């Protein structure tokens, strides 16, 4: 089975702001921290399937319209129990707007709910991951919070996760 995703991506200026914002957090032990080679994104739906039909692909392409998103603060989450090495995730939260909910519902109805492998519906929690850390404390240097209330346009894309994201529009 292949793993696919629909993610929101941002223009270069917003990506740059997210990367700069991420660099304000200092960790001794972290991985997945945004850097200059990163592609900040918000995964809306991730699923596994053997193939995508032409009909599904056509329906998904019709959903690929830019939408407005609103960043809404920072979230710190402990790693899941299944992530045995512990630590926590640091994320930029995105408000769960009607537009995002509608898009996710249409994607799920197109691909089939049984194939979805990330939380959707009431459990949907849109965000951009900044980092995963294994430290017990975070040092924050000169944090500019302007990004955390910003409204931006995001572009949905179909991707094949794995190597590095390959986005198709």
The verdict on residue 100 lying in a domain is: yes
How far apart are alpha carbons 71 and 50 in whole angstroms? 34
* Domain contains 36: yes
Give backbone dihedrals phi and psi of 109, rounded to 5 degrees, phi first: -70, -25
Note the pTM of the prediction, 2 decimals. Answer: 0.87
User: What is the CB neighbour count within 10 angstroms for residue 81?
Assistant: 7
Q: Does a structural domain hold residue 168?
A: no
- Read off the tokens for 83: 């992530």
Does residue 110 sit within a domain? yes
Within a domain: 92: yes
User: How many whole angstroms separate alpha carbon 169 and alpha carbon 164?
Assistant: 16
Question: How many structural domains is the chain composed of?
Answer: 1
pLDDT of residue 144: 76
Q: Does the residue 70 lie in any domain?
A: yes
How high is the mean pLDDT in each 10-residue block of the chain (169 residues)? Answer: 92 92 76 79 94 90 93 87 73 96 96 93 94 76 85 91 52
- How many angstroms separate the CA atoms of 133 and 59, rounded? 38
CATH value at residue 117: 3.90.1140.10
């Amino acid at each position: 089975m292949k793993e696919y995703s629909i993610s929101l991506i941002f223009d270069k200026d917003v990506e740059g702001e997210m990367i700069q914002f991420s660099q304000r957090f200092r960790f001794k032990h972290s991985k997945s921290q945004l850097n200059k080679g990163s592609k900040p994104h918000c995964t809306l739906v991730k699923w596994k399937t053997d193939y995508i039909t032409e009909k599904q692909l056509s329906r998904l392409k019709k959903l690929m319209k830019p939408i407005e998103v609103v960043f809404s603060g920072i979230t710190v989450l402990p790693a899941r129990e299944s992530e045995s090495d512990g630590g926590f995730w640091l994320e930029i939260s995105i408000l769960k707007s009607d537009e995002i909910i509608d898009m996710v519902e249409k994607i799920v109805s197109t691909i089939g709910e049984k194939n979805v492998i990330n939380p959707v519906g009431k459990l949907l929690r849109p965000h951009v991951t900044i980092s995963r850390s294994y430290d017990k404390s975070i040092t924050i240097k000169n944090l500019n919070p302007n990004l955390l209330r910003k409204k931006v346009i995001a572009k949905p894309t179909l991707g094949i996760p794995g190597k590095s994201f390959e986005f198709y529009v």
